Amino acid sequence: MFNIDNWWKAVLWIGIALCGIVLIFDVKIVEAKHLLGLGIGLIIIGISVFGAQKYCVQKIPGFEGLFEGYITQHNTITRCGVIIGSIMSVVFLFQIIKGLL
């Protein structure tokens, strides 16, 4: 059910967990808006990379076999999603660290 075999799946689930924690519990250690922003940024990264996954079957030159699996092919939308999510995550992570110091 929770098959986390790629890094982007872990990022997506961490983002969902952070947003869920903010919405369910009353967080007092850090500001909730910063934690929610970090979670949304991670969700955007996870969804963007998920959208860039393509199923591929290719003949391997020089071998008698086929490559069968998922490859990542980003388009303009997924690249923008990863960039925006990364910027959001970094900014809100710095805000969380600054609030803790």
d(CA 100, CA 93): 11
Tokens of 13: 């689930």
* pLDDT of 21: 92
Residue 1 has pLDDT above 60, yes or no: no
2 pLDDT band, cuts 50/70/90, is low
Residue 99 has pLDDT above 70, yes or no: yes
Residue 81 has pLDDT above 90, yes or no: yes
pLDDT tens-digit map of 44-68 = 999 999 999 999 888 878 777 788 8
Tokens of 86: 């990364």
pTM, 2 dp: 0.86
- 82 or 1, which is more confident? 82
Kindly report the backbone phi and psi dihedral angles of residue 93, in degrees, each rounded to the nearest multiple of 5, phi listed first.
-65, -40
Average of per-residue pLDDT across 28-49: 93
What b/e string do you get for 58-89 counting C-beta neighbours within 10 Å, with b at 16 or more?
eeeeeeeeeeeeeeeeeeeebeebbeebeebb
- DSSP-derived letter for residue 62 is T
Per-residue CA distances from 8 to 3, 33, 81 (Å): 12, 23, 13
